[in-house]
Chain A
Amino acid sequence: MLQTYLSQVWTIFSKDLRAELRTKEALNASLAFSVVILLLLSFAFEASEQSTSISGGLLWLAYSFAGALALNRSFARELQNDCLDALIASPAPSSALFLGKALANYALLLVVELIALGVFIIFYDAHLSGNFLPLFGVMLLATWAMVVIGTLFSALTVNLHMRELMLPVLVYPLLIPALMAAMLLTSTLLSGEAITGDNWIWVRVLVAFDIVFTALGVVFIDTVLVG
């Protein structure tokens, strides 16, 4: 039973990634966009010693803009040739469709974020100083938060005329706790310090956020897609 479910999730996941790797629509767009954002931010903030304290904020702003771009496409690309109806009619339950798509977006966004991180380090003269693994952990947790809410709202807004406008308006306010935690932790890590004492509360916020919204997404995706 579980095996069937997992293979359905895997099928959706690999289908989405394959389609993405062949067209590279969302990948190229969100990569280019995040680099442009990082470039623009460099005019707003001088790269200096002080900028490490806001570096987490800069980085996550770029990530969340890139994320909204990629997540917009997630369900919208299924509209052509009524693919979405076919997916809903397929034996896979909506939650498998949701998780498969969320995981595909997750992989895609993590790749974009890693490349953008490299660009960021070059542009802003940031030093990871052995903090790469904790930083990657923060990226794993916060990106999942972004992806799980983004994928659900991508499904929710898929039939709207103004979907590209509505998605960020609905998603960003909800994401604020996760983004805030990620910004704080990233700034700490980029200034060369380790996550200690008080900062663990933000790791816990991220974990709780992920669990709660993954559960909500799995429960409500059927209501969103089918009714």
Chain B
Amino acid sequence: MRDYFLYGFAAIAAMLLTWNLHHIFIDLPPVIQNVGAYKIVYMHVSIILASFIGFFVSLAASSIYLATGNLKYDAFAAGVTEVAVVYATAGLALGSLWGRFAWGIWWTWDARLTSMLICWLMYLGYLMLRQAIPEPTERARLCAVLSIFGGVGVTFVYKSIEWYRTQHPAPVLSFRQGAGGMGPGLETPIYWNLLALLFLGTAMIMVRMRQEQVSREIDALRRIAHSHAA
């Protein structure tokens, strides 16, 4: 039953992404405001949005794990965070590419870029911590605490960097100014891509959760085998 959902989600994601790519590359005008690479924005914005949703869901899952102690929620949080970090990485890379074409630079210390980078570093730390703790319940507990601290930290980072950068006379490069003047019809592929990415993410998380479950079962079997041998 679960397999059907998994393949179903993956298939929906594949179809939506293909259809979107076709729409973006064939139907839309090739150049807007002298920026031919503006089409990167469709993937960049939706993948960053998807990663934010993922971080938010993982914060919720970690809280539920701490409240209930059910390892299923920990596996879920782990899967969501991994997918969200991959999305965030892709989002940063795509944004950097787009910046190279639109602004002429790979990177700028703008509020959004900086806070995204810090957010990415925080969740990279979360994944490193998961690797470093072998015992499942201890890992789940400590990672859940880190996830909650990270969630609160990201809010602080986001707000304070906004204040920091806007106090300086440096130009604030916002997406809407940079790619600006997107007609209402031109924005819709962003939301379709977001939907496709959410389906793709859900499918990947389901695969990841099954892995976690299997590895726990193998662990339990190994423990039984050891106790019989001894």
Contacts and interface: CB of A to CB of B under 8 A. Distances in A.
Nearest to B167: A198
Nearest to A198: B167
A19 interface: no
Contacts of A166: 125, 128-129, 132
Interface string B123-151: 00100110011000110011011101110
A174 B122 contact: yes
Contacts, number: 73
A223 interface: yes
Interface in B132-180: 132-133, 137-138, 141-142, 144-146, 148-150, 152-153, 156-157, 159-161, 163-164, 167
B146 A170 contact: yes
Nearest to A171: B125
A156 B146 contact: yes
Nearest to B137: A227
Contacts of B148: 216, 220
Contact of B66 (A159, A216, A223): A223
Interface string A144-179: 000001001000110111100010011001101100
A147 to B, nearest CB: 15
B41 to A, nearest CB: 27
Interface in B52-107: 66
Interface residues of A, number: 30
A89 interface: no
A121 interface: no
A210 B146 CA distance: 17
B121 interface: yes
Given A173-B118, A216-B149, A227 B138 contact: yes
A170 B129 contact: yes
B138 A177 contact: no
Interface in A183-227: 184, 198, 201-202, 205, 209, 212-213, 216, 220, 223-224, 227
A162 B132 contact: yes
A160 to B, nearest CB: 5
A180 B164 contact: yes
A108 B7 CA distance: 57
B131 to A, nearest CB: 9
B67 to A, nearest CB: 11
Contacts of B161: 176-177, 180
Contacts of A174: 122, 149-150, 153
A201 B69 CA distance: 40
A181 interface: yes
Contact of A227 (B128, B129, B141): B141
A212 B157 CA distance: 13
Contacts of B146: 156, 170
Contact of B142 (A156, A161, A198, A205): A156
19 contacts: A159-B133, A160-B132, A166-B128, A166-B132, A169-B128, A170-B125, A173-B157, A174-B122, A174-B153, A176-B160, A177-B153, A177-B156, A180-B164, A205-B156, A212-B156, A220-B145, A223-B66, A224-B141, A227-B141
Interface of B: 66, 118, 121-122, 125, 128-129, 132-133, 137-138, 141-142, 144-146, 148-150, 152-153, 156-157, 159-161, 163-164, 167
Given A157-B129, A177-B161, A216-B152, 7 more contacts: A156-B145, A169-B128, A170-B129, A176-B160, A177-B159, A180-B164, A212-B152
Interface of A: 149, 152, 156-157, 159-162, 166, 169-170, 173-174, 176-177, 180-181, 184, 198, 201-202, 205, 209, 212-213, 216, 220, 223-224, 227
